[in-house]
Amino acid sequence: MSAFEKATAIRRRGESPQYDVELDPGWNIGDKPNGGYLLALLARAACDVVGTEHPLAVTAHYLRAPDSGPAEVRTEVIRSGRRASTSRAVLWQDDKPFIDATVTSGRLNAVAPDWVEGGPAGMPSPEECDGRGNPNFPISLFDNVDMRVDPATIAFDLETGKPIPNGTPAERYWFRLRDGAEPDVMSLLIAVDCAFPTVFHLGRFGWAPTVELSVLLRGIPAPGWLACEAHTRLVADGWFDEEASVWDSTGRLVAQSRQLALAGGDPPKSS
């Protein structure tokens, strides 16, 4: 069992629709669990309760940020179908709901796409990209995730952590699990949500909590590095969107996402 599988393990309470989980601090951003990591936990429970193999579409509302440690997932079957089923999974801790997700699930097949627009973003090889992160803000997630950022899209100095925004809210990066486990459908839920906030490049540094995240799982990833790209289209009234795309080592698009988040920091002052 890989570190990711252990960290997202679910334990069903007999025949009930409730699951016990342990939020692993090794997948944190600061002192809170990564949103994609939490989504993988919920997706496992949502698929299990309807007996399906893969999440196909996941939409989650982040009500508050949980702490590492024991928690539970309460599920509800909304519809059970032959090709697609829909269920609800809610993360609870200390008698409060923290994340409310709706998951449509079924089975993904390794088939070639009928049509696709574009391909993976051009960037240097993983060996030419940087995986150190900001020295002023340790992230335990990177103990388990190997993320290599395209140097052209790094928003801070790698030695000092000093901001160096370039004015374009986008980031390109490579992703894989650090223990060598090959990517699977569930790990794509982390891949779409592990970029540094793209608004860093607009001078909006600070905590950027996700409020809503929707992910489409489009294929079973081939072994090897995942190529990822995230960008923002609008920042307004303290909010920003972030869209992400993930391609596997064969160049196949395997995941797409869009989220709404709070933009950290104050808007840059006009000169």
For the chain, list the domains and their CATH numbers. Answer: 3-106 (2.40.160.210), 126-262 (2.40.160.210)
In angstroms, the CA 205 to CA 157 distance is: 13
Q: Is 162's pLDDT higher than 50?
A: yes
pLDDT at 265: 72
What average pLDDT score do residues 137-166 get?
Answer: 93
pLDDT at 137: 84
- Kindly give the pairing relationship between strand 226-231 and strand 170-177: antiparallel
The H-or-E segment that residue 38 falls in is: helix 35-50
Neighbour tally for 252: CB within 10 Å:
20
pLDDT band, residue 34 (cuts 50/70/90): very high
Question: Which range in 10-19, 153-162, 261-270 is most confidently predicted, on average pLDDT?
Answer: 10-19
Neighbour tally for 180: CB within 10 Å:
9
Residues written for the chain: 271
Mean pLDDT for the chain overall: 95
In angstroms, the CA 107 to CA 86 distance is: 13
Predicted model pTM: 0.95
pLDDT band, residue 100 (cuts 50/70/90): very high
Token digits for 8?
Answer: 């997202």
In angstroms, the CA 197 to CA 246 distance is: 16
pLDDT band, residue 156 (cuts 50/70/90): very high
Token digits for 249?
Answer: 């080592």
pLDDT at 130: 87
Tell me the CA distances in angstroms from 202 to 112, 166, 168, one per residue in order: 38, 7, 7
Taking only the tens place, the pLDDT of each residue in 133-148 is 888 888 999 999 999 9
What average pLDDT score do residues 241-257 get?
Answer: 97
pLDDT at 267: 65
Name the residue among 176, 244, 228, 167 with its Cα closest to residue 202.
167
pLDDT at 271: 42
pLDDT band, residue 131 (cuts 50/70/90): confident
pLDDT at 119: 86
Taking only the tens place, the pLDDT of each residue in 55-68 is 999 999 999 999 99
pLDDT at 52: 98
pLDDT band, residue 268 (cuts 50/70/90): low
CB–CB of 231/190 below 8 Å? no
Token digits for 179?
Answer: 């223990």
In angstroms, the CA 251 to CA 7 distance is: 28
**∠ at Cα 194 (27, 143), nearest 5°?**
40
Window from 65-69, 75-79, 89-93, 161-165 with minimum mean pLDDT: 161-165
What average pLDDT score do residues 185-200 get?
Answer: 96
What residues contact 70, with CB distance under 8 A and at least 6 apart? 20, 21, 22, 23, 93
